[in-house]
Amino acid sequence: MQLDRPAEPSRKLIGLTPLIDVVFILLLFFMLTSSFIQWQSLDLTMSTGEGSEVSGEPPLMLSMTPDGRLFLPDEPLVLLDDNRVRDLLAGGNKSVILTPNPASSIQQVVWLLDQIGRLGAAGVSVNTGAAE
């Protein structure tokens, strides 16, 4: 006796064409909605330890901690906030010489240079030589 078995349903395969279309639409969506970084330049003067142009006031010497905070080398326990730096820069065309900590990242140094420039420094230099 022969039994009639129902035929197994055939598996429908997913077509690749609609899948590729969806991937391209998603790629286009993310490319159009993403924001691109606006690159800005930062003027930087590297100090060589030799004399530079003579001005009426000596530059403000600042040092930084490994975590990127500013302090005066003469007062190592006094960490400076934005208002204190603005007060130190007030009253003239004062330039700043920043001595970075060897453990600091370049991103922290660049961020501090930008921040000091925004607080009113006439010029910002980086002291790359060893502290004496």
Q: What domain range includes position 121?
A: 56-127
Q: Is 98 among the domain residues? A: yes
Looking at residue 114, which CATH number applies to its domain?
A: 3.30.420
Q: Is 81 among the domain residues? A: yes
Q: Is 107 among the domain residues? A: yes
Q: Is 111 among the domain residues? A: yes
pLDDT at 111: 84
Q: Which residue has the higher pLDDT, 83 or 92?
A: 83
pLDDT at 77: 61
In whole numbers, what is the pLDDT of the chain averaged over residues? 78
Closest to 98 measured CA to CA, from 130, 57, 70, 76: 70
pLDDT at 132: 46
pLDDT at 29: 92
Q: Is 51 among the domain residues? A: no
Q: What is the pLDDT of residues 7-39, one digit of tens each?
A: 777 777 777 888 899 999 999 999 888 877 766
pLDDT at 5: 76
Q: Work out the pLDDT band at 66, boundaries 50, 70, 90.
A: confident
Q: Is 74 among the domain residues? A: yes
Q: Is 30 among the domain residues? A: no
Is the separation of the CB atoms in 100 and 85 below 8 Å?
A: no
Type of residue at 75 = E
Q: What's the number of domains the chain is made of?
A: 1
Q: Is 64 among the domain residues? A: yes
